[in-house]
Amino acid sequence: MTREEFDVYLEKFNGRDYQGFLEYFADTFEMVHVGGSLKSREAVRKFYDFLHAYIKESVIVDRFVSDEHTIALEARVRIEGVRELTPETVAASDYPRLKPLAVGQSAVIPQFIHYHLEKGKFVKVVCAEL
């Protein structure tokens, strides 16, 4: 996947076009990040519907390397609280590894994101904080 192709995907992600960015995923995949291990489109939508009800999120790519099987990037994930994400809300959710965030609070989280591709589709995505 080229950088230009990836930027189209990222634009869909940053724009909350869940249907659009999920088209880049294979029928069987795994996405691993703070939300846990998500293995279906429904699980991904459920997680991001929850997360984005509380925070505004955008991914900024700093370094990008790719070939036909792999995309590796260093990125900054910028988050900002748009609705109070309380410890109680986190505890009651399916995503206990999330951190509470107040309205207006923001953070920039450096991440390494690794994509495995088969036939041009994402089969595994792993996001790790740097």
Whether the CB-CB separation of 98 and 57 falls below 8 Å is answered with no
- What is the pTM assigned to this prediction? 0.93
Residues 3-18: pLDDT tens digits? 999 999 999 999 999 9
Q: What is the pLDDT of residue 4?
A: 97
Cβ atoms < 10 Å from Cβ of 113: 18
φ, ψ of residue 14 to 5 degrees: the values are: -60, -25
Residues 18-69: pLDDT tens digits? 999 999 999 999 999 998 999 999 999 999 999 999 999 999 999 999 999 9
Domain residue spans of the chain? 3-129
How much is the mean pLDDT over the chain?
A: 97
The predicted model gives 83-105 an average pLDDT of: 97
Name which of 47, 48, 77 is nearest 61 in CA terms. Answer: 77
The topology under which CATH files domain 3-129 is: Nuclear Transport Factor 2; Chain: A, (3.10.450)
Q: Which residues on adjacent β-strands are paired with residue 55? A: 81
Token pair for residue 26?
């294979």
How many whole angstroms separate alpha carbon 111 and alpha carbon 128? 5
Amino acid at 66: S
